[in-house]
Amino acid sequence: MLMKGNEVIGEAAIRAGCRYFFGYPITPQTELAEYLAKKMPKVGGLCLQAESEVAAINMVLGCNASGERAFTSSSSPGVSLKSEGISYIIGSDLPCVIVNVQRGGPGLGGIQPAQSDYLQATKALGHGDQHFIVLAPAYVQEIATLMGEAFDLADIYRTPVMLLADGALGQMMEPVDFEAKKQRTLPEKTWAACGHGNKREHNVVNSLYISPEVLEQTVLARFERYKLIEEKEVMYDGYMTEDADICIVSYGITARIAKTAVKAAREKGIKAGLFRPITLWPYPKKQLSALADKVKKFLVVEMNMGQMVDDVKVATDCRRPVEFFGRTGGIIPTPDEILAKIEEMNGGAD
C-alpha cells in the first residue's frame, strides 16, 4: 500500500485500537487529522478538532484516564503549547501518544522539515522530574510499526510516548505494510477511572501531591520504571559500522540521507558508517559507547544546530572527537554536503 507518512500515523493508530484523536490543525501534519476525520467515524471512533492545542492535550489526558487509547498530534509550535498538559499526564502516570511532525523554529518558524525539537523532546518538554519515550522513525514503514509500538509502550509503562517525525516524513509517500508490528502482552488497566458499578474503590487520577514525602515517592517510583525502560526498550540501527573509521550518528529522515552519503564515501574508499538511534529516549548509550572503542571519529548529522552532539559525547565519554554537520530552518541536507564533511574529516578530498 502506498501512503503518505501523515496518513500512516492515523491508520497505524486505528490499527492499534485507538479510537480517540484530539488535535488542532497545523502544517505539516494536517493530513493526519484529515485522514482520521474520515476514518474514525467508520470504526466507531472520534476525531475531534479542539479549540486549541491546550484543549486537545487535556482531552487526551481525560480520555486516557478513563483507560481508552487516545492520542494527539501537532507540529513544533503546537507541541510547545501542549507541554503543560504533557507534564500533567506524566504526573498522573497515564499512557498517552503524542506525535510531533517537526517544522523549523523557533517561534512560529517555518513549515519545512526540521529536527530542532530534539532537546525539547528528549530533555524537558514539560516541568518536573520527567522523561518519556521518544521514537524517531526514518521511513514511512517505520512510522507504521513505531506508532503501534508507541501505544503498547505507553500502556506497559504508563507514560507518554512521542513519535518524533518531521515534515518530510509526514509528507512523503512510501509503500507500507501494517502487519509488520510485533505483538506485545499488555497489562490490565486496573487504575483507569471508568465505570465499575461500585464493585471496587474509586480510582483517582491526579498529579497533585501536597506532601513532599508523598510526591517524592511517586517520582522515585516513576524513575524505577524509567530504569526498566532504559534497560529493555532501547532501539537502534547500524549500517557498515563494523569497520568504520568515521561513524555518523543521525536519526529520522536525516539518517537515511546520511546513509546515502556513507555509501558514496565507501565508494571513494573512505570507511564510513552510520549509527541510527531509533529511541531518542532511552538513548542507546551502551551501543554508542561500544562503537567508540572501534571508530576514530563521530559525526553527528541533524536538521538543527547540533542538539544531539552532547548526547553522543556523554554516551562515549568524549573518548573520540565528535563533529557536527547540519542544516536548519527547514533545509534538508543533501548527501553531497554530508559526503563533503566526511571527506574533510578524512583529511580532505582527493
Spatial CA neighbour of 12 closest among 169, 158, 131, 181 = 181
Distance CA 205, CA 77 (A): 28
Site for other proteins in 71-130 (CB under 8 A): 111-112
Closest CA to 187 of 155, 161, 160, 159: 155
Q: Is 171 in the site for other proteins (CB under 8 A)?
A: yes
Interatomic CA distance for residues 93 and 91, integer angstroms: 6
Closest CB to other proteins among 27 and 287?
27
Asked if 172 touches other proteins (CB under 8 A), the answer is yes
Q: Which of 43, 173, 194, 228 binds other proteins (CB under 8 A)?
A: 173
Beta bridge partners, 162, equal: 98, 134
Pick the piece of the chain touching other proteins (CB under 8 A) from 14-22, 203-211, 225-233, 330-338.
Answer: 330-338
What part of residues 258-297 is at the interface with other proteins (CB under 8 A)? 258-261, 263
Residues linked to residue 20 through DSSP beta bridges, in sequence order? 46, 70
Which cell numbers in the block locate residue 158? 504508563
Task: Return the number of other C-beta atoms located less than 10 Å from residue 147's C-beta.
Answer: 29
Could you tell me the CA-to-CA distances from 151 to 2, 144, 154, 304 in Å, in that order? 23, 12, 5, 28
Instruction: Name the residue nearer to other proteins (CB basis): 59 or 299.
Output: 299
- Identified binder of other proteins from the candidate list 28, 67, 78, 137, rule CB under 8 A: 28
Number of residues in contact with other proteins, rule: CB under 8 A? 25
Binding status of residue 167 toward other proteins by CB under 8 A:
yes
**Minimum distance, C-beta of residue 287 to other proteins, in the bound complex (Å):** 21
Q: Tell how many helices (H) and how many strands (E) occur in the chain.
A: 13, 14
Site string for other proteins, 233-262 (x = CB under 8 A): --------------------x--xxxxxx-
Closest C-alpha to 282, from 133, 165, 60, 176:
133
Judged by CB under 8 A, does residue 327 bind other proteins?
Answer: no
Binding site for other proteins (CB under 8 A): 2, 27-28, 111-112, 140, 167-168, 171-175, 253, 256-261, 263, 332, 334-336
